[in-house]
Structure 1
Amino acid sequence: MFLNTLVHPGKSQKAFYVLFNNCCSDFGLRCLSTSCARTARKKGSQYGAVDTERYSSLVKSVVSSRVSAQTPETLQDQDTLLYGPIVEPRRPRDKPRVPRNRVPLRNEDKVGLRDACAPGPVARLMLQRGPDKSATPSVTRVLQQTMSPEQLLLLERWKRRMIAELGEEGFRQYSANLFRLGALFHTALEDALTSPSGPANRFEQQEEEVAGYMESVRSVLDDLSDMRAIESAVHHRALNYVGVVDCVARYRGRLCAIDWKTSEKAKPFIQNTYDNPIQVAAYIGALNSDENYRYQVENGLIVVAYKDGSPAHPHFFGLDKVLQYWENWLLRLEDFTDKNPPVT
């Protein structure tokens, strides 16, 4: 009679038996045999203390549910209600990684040369590479081969999206055109930066394809002075890597290593430029190490130009930030060396 009262007709009784056994266990009812009942009469039955109306309602709600009451979500909610939320134990924070070889950014042999004038013509040193290029890696190669998994994933997603829109051949043509426009833009910048005429006459004979880029950087070029180097090779002798710095000049009075970039999307913040600040810091370290340059650089400038002629975004960063990016460069260089140990 008790079971008939509690179990809703037509529903599964499995959940009821589980709950009922638990209830019995809580109240010391280990069995429902006749002998147990006789023993209970002598000692005084505890069954009378059970709120049958309460548990009847509870069992009905359990067996009438369309979804199992023992789902993980329900159990977690019950545990949270009874014992409070789960508190993860505090794990010791990993110590920040530091370079094994902390080569300084500045060159002690050039102390006092930071603001020295650069006599003679603007430097345009050609990159000298031996037959074994892997022995002296470039800045670009190091950064490409040490990209984070997140960067690689973003790059792969962008490539797949472009191939879906343009097709394989269309994507190849698109990439080749971007490279060609970048080369034209840098050539036009060289002409503009070395032109004896004033800023107003710099853009008259520029290629039509890069006229928008040149218009974009007009105001930045007007802020440059004291040109030191243009498309010039740099070599860090202690760390043994090379690169080609786009430009070294004063931007609003401060000597900078400058990197020119083109973009189809606006990049108003320096974090939008991804690894470019690390690249500039690597060039600064190499400039300071290279004996071909009789000065030191402590500032960086990334200029993002746009094809539609909208004003470029110049991202200047001083010594404090340069030192942070320099630390990142040393770590990336270590990762590259670990993956590509020198052949002995």
Structure 2
Amino acid sequence: MLTMKTLHLICRNCRGMANVLFQPQHTPVFLSTSCTAHSRKKKVNGYENIDQEKYANLVRMVTSSKTSCQTPERIFEEDSFLYGEVIKSKAPSQEPETRVPRNHSLMYNSNKVILPAEKTDPNIPVKISLPARDQMADGRLPSVTRILQQTMPMEQAFYLERWKQRMIMELGEEGFIEYTAAVFSQGKQFHARLEDLLVSRDDNIHRPEDTDELSGYLASVEHVLSDVSELRTLESAVLHSELKYLGIVDCVAYYRGKLCIIEWKTSEKQKPHIQRTFDNPLQVAAYVGALNHDVNYNFQVDCGLVVVVYKDGSPAHAHFMDPELCTYYWDKWLLRLEEYKEKKEEKQ
């Protein structure tokens, strides 16, 4: 049995522990200004479901940057982080079908009769004028230049029109008319001087009376003329007897041992590649086919040359067209000729 003294000690210790456990604490009290804080429905945050850990680097990069992060490099970094590496689509297994002319007339005329050499004078270049309208059985035939202008691709026409509008803004309407007239006059003078040089084979290519522009063109073309020999035609008309179109060829001569139809083109811009000459190769190929089907010529041609001459005197670019390249542009010319005829039929 517990003594009274022991029991008294136990009760006193229990009262002490109770005082410690249940003594009131001095905790701060906060009063809510809203009486409906617990009754209102909690608003859903749309960003709570985002993987915060995955995009932590992106958030840190945006918030820590002191300058604008909308630079091409940053945008590519963000795209790579969000979407991964760019996967390039595979090229189609089949290339788009290449258009071919419906009437595939050959550029070379296997039925042409070639007269014996003794019946022709190779020293006299052929120069045939365009036939009069009443002399043509089918009336007025379209020229190569007209056909190419009427069937110009939309992209090419767009850039041509944009250049024209830019020139009008700089020069005005009247100034642009004067500019085009001056360019045409310079080209005409250059062709006339070039004709004299080819016929006379004069070594003195420059004359005191030449204008600065003409002197520039002549200096530009001088190195090409040294490779031209045996002139066959000069400013002569050609007519395709089967396809019914015509044109005027600048020159037919030998260029580095190859008989070519040569077209001289003046330009203020450099054109080191034949693709930059736009429709000029098609024009040459059309003349090649027309000459080969014209009974007025005692020879055939399968090569061409586009010579781009510059007013500032820089060396001209001579773009040689071998038989394979001529055939390539001949097929393109046939497509443009078909397009022209289709448009003409629609108007009738």
Q: TM-score, normalised by structure 1?
A: 0.72
Relative distance call for 1:268 and 1:16 in structure 2 (3 A) is closer
Q: Contact 1:257–1:299 (CA<8 Å) still a contact in 2?
A: yes
Gaps of 5+ in 2: 1-41, 64-75
User: Secondary structure, in 3 states, of the residue corresponding to 2:249?
Assistant: strand
Return the offset for 1:14: 5.5
Distance 1:114 1:313 in 2: 36
Return the offset for 1:169: 1.2
Q: What corresponds to 1:13 in structure 2?
A: 44
Q: What corresponds to 2:153 in structure 1?
A: 148
Q: What corresponds to 1:50 in structure 2?
A: none
Distance 2:268 2:106 in 1: 36
Spell out, residue by residue over 1:301-329, the C-alpha distance to the aligned partner (whole angstroms, 9 max, x if none).
11111122222111111101000000110
Of structures 1 and 2, the larger Rg is shown by 2
User: Secondary structure, in 3 states, of the residue corresponding to 2:231?
Assistant: strand
Q: What corresponds to 1:199 in structure 2?
A: 202
Return the offset for 1:253: 1.3
Q: What corresponds to 2:218 in structure 1?
A: 214
Q: What corresponds to 1:126 in structure 2?
A: 129
User: Secondary structure, in 3 states, of the residue corresponding to 1:217?
Assistant: helix
Q: Contact 1:135–1:342 (CA<8 Å) still a contact in 2?
A: no
1:224 pairs, out of 225, 228, 249, with 228
User: Secondary structure, in 3 states, of the residue corresponding to 1:110?
Assistant: coil
Q: Contact 1:80–1:86 (CA<8 Å) still a contact in 2?
A: no
Amino acid at match of 2:125: V
Amino acid at match of 2:184: F
Q: What corresponds to 1:137 in structure 2?
A: 142
Return the offset for 1:285: 0.4
Q: Contact 2:266–2:309 (CA<8 Å) still a contact in 1?
A: yes
Return the offset for 1:151: 0.5
Q: What corresponds to 1:107 in structure 2?
A: 109
Q: Is residue 268 of structure 2 the alignment partner of residue 237 of structure 1?
A: no
Higher relative helix content: 1
User: Secondary structure, in 3 states, of the residue corresponding to 2:101?
Assistant: coil
Spell out, residue by residue over 1:36-77, the C-alpha distance to the aligned partner (whole angstroms, 9 max, x if none).
xxxxxxxxxxxxxxxxxxx7979999xxx99xxxxxx9xx98
Q: Contact 1:139–1:282 (CA<8 Å) still a contact in 2?
A: yes
Q: Contact 1:232–1:244 (CA<8 Å) still a contact in 2?
A: yes
Q: What corresponds to 2:312 in structure 1?
A: 308
Gaps of 5+ in 1: 1-10, 21-54, 67-72
CA RMSD of aligned residues (A): 3.7
Distance 1:114 1:261 in 2: 34
Q: Is residue 325 of structure 2 the alignment partner of residue 327 of structure 1?
A: no
Aligned length: 290
Q: Contact 1:299–1:322 (CA<8 Å) still a contact in 2?
A: yes
**Sequence identity (%):** 46
Q: TM-score, normalised by structure 2?
A: 0.71
